[in-house]
């Protein structure tokens, strides 16, 4: 690829966001971050408007929802909105919960993949698969 793939990482945990950003930058990706549903959505909207786009979005499920309330699956709402606004951009979802039902829900709503938080190597593998890059 001539241009480095651009990834948007969304997570409300600042430490984790910064850590993932650093990991991805070192892997050669271009990275932008958002610490919530709303800021993420705005970033995507602005990018679209400017004619640029993300190649991949990594989304944390466990964030406050669009109304600011804590919800176990708030990220799902963002996933739905993203799949409806930019259906061709793959979204990988992560969650603290290692649950089968959550995984099913995410795939049903159009996620390209799903992994449990904290598993960095797994995350990198999935990113490469979804973006069709060899390690």
Partner 1 sequence: MDLANIDDNVTLEQALRRANLLAAAAEVSQNITLILDIDELLPKTVDIICDAYDFYYAGVFLIDDAGEFAVLRAGRGEPGRIMIENNHKLAVGGNSMIGACTARNEARISLDVDTERVWYPNPVLPDTRSEMALPLAIGNRVIGAVTVQSVEAAAFSDEDISSLQAMANQLAIAIENARNRRELEETHAQLLRAKTFETIATATGDAIHWIGNKAEPIGGSLARLREDVQLLACAAAEALDLVADEVKTYPLAQLFLKEAADIQQHRPDIVEKVEQLTSLPVDQLEQRLSLNSIMEDLQIIANAASLIMKVKEELIGPAREQAPRPVMIDDVVNDAVTGSGIPSAIVRLEKQNDLPLVLADPVQLNRVFINLFKNAQEAMADQSQPRLSVSLRLDEDQKMVLADVQDNGTGIPEETLDKIWITFHTTKGVKEHAGLGLPACQLILEHIGGHITVASRPGQGATFTMAVPLAEDKTDGAKIEPSRGKVLLVDDADDWRHFAAIALKAAGYKTATADQNYRSGQFNQYDLILVDDILANRDSIEVLQEIKQAGAIAKTTVFSSNPRVERTKEDKLLGIYDLLPKPYTQASLLNEVRKAITSIRYIRT
Contact residues toward partner 1 (CB under 8 A) are: 98-100, 102-104, 106-108, 113-114, 116, 118
Q: At what angle do helices 74-85 and 100-108 cross, to 10 degrees?
A: 20
Give the C-alpha distances (Å, rounded to integers) separating 113 from 71, 94, 129, 130: 21, 9, 10, 8
Of residues 34 and 106, the one with the C-beta less far from partner 1? 106
Q: Closest separation between CB of residue 100 and partner 1, Å?
A: 5
Name residue 34's beta-bridge partners: 10
Of residues 47 and 131, the one with the C-beta less far from partner 1? 131
Of residues 65 and 113, the one with the C-beta less far from partner 1? 113
Instruction: Give the Cα separation of 13 and 90 in Å (integer).
Output: 22
> And the tokens for 89?
């951009």
Q: Closest separation between CB of residue 4 and partner 1, Å?
A: 22
Of residues 47 and 96, the one with the C-beta less far from partner 1? 96
Q: Closest separation between CB of residue 43 and partner 1, Å?
A: 26
Instruction: Give the Cα separation of 8 and 31 in Å (integer).
Output: 6
Q: Closest separation between CB of residue 32 and partner 1, Å?
A: 26
């Amino acid at each position: 690829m001539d241009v480095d793939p651009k990834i948007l990482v969304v997570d409300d945990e600042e430490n984790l966001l910064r850590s993932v950003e650093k990991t991805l930058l070192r892997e050669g990706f271009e990275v932008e971050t958002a610490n919530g549903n709303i800021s993420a959505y705005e970033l995507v909207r602005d990018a679209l408007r400017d004619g640029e786009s993300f190649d991949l979005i990594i989304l944390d499920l466990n964030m406050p929802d669009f109304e600011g309330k804590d919800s176990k699956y708030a990220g799902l709402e963002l996933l739905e909105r993203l799949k409806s606004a930019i259906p061709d951009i793959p979204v990988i979802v992560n969650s603290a919960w290692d649950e089968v039902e959550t995984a099913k829900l995410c795939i049903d709503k159009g996620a390209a993949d799903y992994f449990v938080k904290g598993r960095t190597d797994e995350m990198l593998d999935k990113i490469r698969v979804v973006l069709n890059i060899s390690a």
